[in-house]
Structure 1
Amino acid sequence: LTGSALGAMARRISSQGKVTISVDEYSSNPTQAFTHYNINQSRFQPPHVHMVEPLPYDAPKPVGHTRFVCVSDTHSRTDGIQMPFGDVLLHTGDFTELGLPSEVKKFNDWLGSLPYEFKVVIAGNHELTFDKDFMAELIKQDYYRFPSVTKLKTEDFDDVQSVLTNCVYLQDSEVTIKGFRIYGTPWTPWFNGWGFNLPRGQSLLDKWNQIPEDVDILMTHGPPLGFRDWVPKELQRVGYGIMTDGYTTFINSSTCTVSFQPTNPPFIFDLPNPGNS
């Protein structure tokens, strides 16, 4: 099990009052949690969850709908990606290898070449320079784990988000586009000390509790337990695919495989415009 890659989760949520969520007893061990809930409740098997066939690129967009294009984990390998028609691009992180300013500029130039009316982006664990706390600790270290990053001067990356002029960048924040509330957050469970890593449990829960209740699209860099987070060794596709529990659709749109090959094509989905926006 892994918290890698990510997706967009699209759902119209009705406000039913504030829900209090506490740390699960198995939160520190996702494999144990998956086994426990799958055996006792079959939570991650039909009829509770189902795989979803991707919408074909040539499917006509219904009248009064917005088409979203989902992509993730491009890791500066965007040259060969065939991007489908759509209205709004959602990129859920790891658009660079290390978050170097030159990589960010290259990504921003690519975004500028795309025809989408809106582009929304979050960071992933590879966008090291976007995580200010991570960079502060990295620079203080006696050994250089990421030599090309630690050689940067603070002024080189202090305002690196401003390089992204061709998109809306979200970091624990939201934007409303064409009537849809979109919230983006980059955090993932600790994994070998990368950016935007936090310990499982309360530290991550505090971030999740910042997510508004009435969002239509939630952009994260890691899926919830049991939803496109399994990494079969023989496939090495990092959970790429679409699932639903009947209420929420979970999309893992990782472009690159674990060997950093940009193999997986983007996903598209259509949502009815709120109030005919």
Structure 2
Amino acid sequence: MFPKPKPPPQNFRVIHRPAPEGTGAEHNAPSQPLPPNVYISPDVPVNKPAPNWLRMVCISDTHNTTDANNYMIPEADILVHAGDFTKMGTTAQIDQFVCWMKSLKHIPLKIIIAGNHEIILDKPFYKEKWHRFHNTQEDHQAAVDKLETAGHGIVYLNNSTFQVDGAKILYKKWQKLSKQELDEQEPLQDIHAIDIDDDSGAVAATAADTAMVVDPREGWTMGYKIWASPWQPEFFDWAFNEERGKLKEIWKHIPIDTDILVTHGPPKYHGDTVPRQNNQHVGCHELLNRLKVVRPRYHVFGHIHEGYGVSQINWPSDNTQQSSQPTVCINASVCNLQYRPINKPIVVDLPPK
């Protein structure tokens, strides 16, 4: 029997203290050059390479230690959160997280998955073992509904796919900015006469004396396909755990045309080193094997706080139709080993697709 877990410590009062030396937490900067168009916030260019590019910000493992007052999320088009957004997976903690996501009005789309700490979201696990974590049993479906019906661009995924319509996201944002510029230039104009949902471009056309801008839909013929899953190899009998060797039954469902893969745990050998366990690699070997087949452009994850950072898998060229472009692996864990949210968001600029 496993003992009743203790919640992560409350860190709101200590997050501004420097991390202790020797913990690995003091290294927020990468030790090697980052791949092209990948940045560690706040070292992010003000402008994207072009108006028709998407900007994606990646975070994970925030554990209810972050909010709009103590953790800055940069301007972006997409936010990806790779799980462990609560301490112990209560509905109140999910409410707290959703409120934070809703406050990020500068990001129109937020892709969210659970992690092993979101125990209430793993229905079979919670039904059997809720008493190890909570004093009273809470409502699983109510917790799921809080995420699925939150609105404000929040998309909760669980072994499922979401197609990012980059052209639509960028054009809506462009229309909104154009409308704001028009309001500043023509404060007496009747703003109700403009339909910002009209794809005719009326907003930009009516803005007086504005410079010509590039339609952000230019170059977009497809969207980015995201597939996301909360599962990871067994970890002290927490949520969304599976025995090593059996996870291939989950990973086989990752679509072959996935562009951005989001999982809570890392693949083997990438962002998965645990220094306190003799630098053991604890990532999922079955997930790495599936990566070799799918070869997504980006793989975003967390779970192993000590593994924060960016690495790249360079696939060999072959005679198949598989892409030989590298896969950029992003361990976006915000909290360090002491559950202090000191690691900065990792930002990626995505070209039209």
TM range (shorter): 0.7 to 0.9
| Deviation of 1:85 (Å) | 1.5
Report SS of the residue matched to 1:269: strand
Give the letter for the 1:173 counterpart. S
What pairs with 1:17-96 in structure 2 (closer than 5 Å)? Answer: 51-53=32-34, 55=39, 56-63=43-50, 64-79=52-67, 80-96=70-86
| Deviation of 1:59 (Å) | 5.0
Report SS of the residue matched to 2:132: coil
Asked if structure 2 preserves the Cα contact closer than 8 Å seen for 1:255 and 1:266, the reply is yes
What pairs with 1:172-251 in structure 2 (closer than 5 Å)? Answer: 172-177=159-164, 178=166, 179-202=223-246, 204-233=247-276, 237-246=305-314, 247-251=326-330
Name the CA distance, whole Å, in 2 between partners of 1:229 and 1:161. Answer: 29
Report SS of the residue matched to 1:158: helix
Instruction: Give deviations 1:100-140, integer Å, cap 9, x for gaps.
Output: 0001011111000002011100000000000001012114x
Asked if structure 2 preserves the Cα contact closer than 8 Å seen for 1:186 and 1:196, the reply is yes
Give the structure 2 partner of residue 268 of structure 1. Answer: 347
Asked if structure 1 preserves the Cα contact closer than 8 Å seen for 2:123 and 2:140, the reply is no
Matched, 1:147 2:134: yes
Asked if structure 2 preserves the Cα contact closer than 8 Å seen for 1:88 and 1:117, the reply is yes
Which runs of 4 or more aligned residues in structure 1 lie more than 3 Å from their structure 2 counterparts after TM superposition? Answer: 233-237
| Deviation of 1:157 (Å) | 2.5
| Deviation of 1:147 (Å) | 3.2
Unaligned ranges ≥5, structure 1: 1-49
| Deviation of 1:98 (Å) | 1.3
Higher relative contact order (CA 8 A, sep 6+): 1
Asked if structure 1 preserves the Cα contact closer than 8 Å seen for 2:61 and 2:305, the reply is no
Instruction: Give deviations 1:139-167, integer Å, cap 9, x for gaps.
Output: 4xxxx42133xx124xx232312112141
Give the letter for the 1:208 counterpart. W
CA 1:51/1:224 → structure 2, altered by over 3 Å: closer, same or farther? Answer: farther
Name the CA distance, whole Å, in 1 between partners of 2:32 and 2:54. Answer: 23
Name the CA distance, whole Å, in 1 between partners of 2:99 and 2:72. Answer: 16
- With 244-253 and 52-61 compared, the bigger mean Cα shift is at 52-61
Asked if structure 2 preserves the Cα contact closer than 8 Å seen for 1:188 and 1:196, the reply is yes
Q: TM-score, normalised by structure 2?
A: 0.58
Q: TM-score, normalised by structure 1?
A: 0.74
Give the structure 2 partner of residue 100 of structure 1. Answer: 90
Name the CA distance, whole Å, in 2 between partners of 1:227 and 1:69. Answer: 19
Give the structure 2 partner of residue 47 of structure 1. Answer: none
Report SS of the residue matched to 1:222: coil
Name the CA distance, whole Å, in 1 between partners of 2:108 and 2:120. Answer: 27
| Deviation of 1:258 (Å) | 1.7
| Deviation of 1:238 (Å) | 1.6
Name the CA distance, whole Å, in 1 between partners of 2:160 and 2:127. Answer: 22
Report SS of the residue matched to 1:238: helix
CA 1:170/1:237 → structure 2, altered by over 3 Å: closer, same or farther? Answer: closer
Give the structure 2 partner of residue 29 of structure 1. Answer: none
Give the structure 1 partner of residue 157 of structure 2. Answer: 170
Report SS of the residue matched to 2:230: coil
Asked if structure 2 preserves the Cα contact closer than 8 Å seen for 1:171 and 1:186, the reply is yes
Give the letter for the 2:122 counterpart. D
Instruction: Give deviations 1:7-33, integer Å, cap 9, x for gaps.
Output: xxxxxxxxxxxxxxxxxxxxxxxxxxx
Matched, 1:159 2:227: no
Matched, 1:252 2:295: no
Q: Which has the larger radius of gyration?
A: 2
Report SS of the residue matched to 2:162: strand
The Cα RMSD (Å) is 1.9
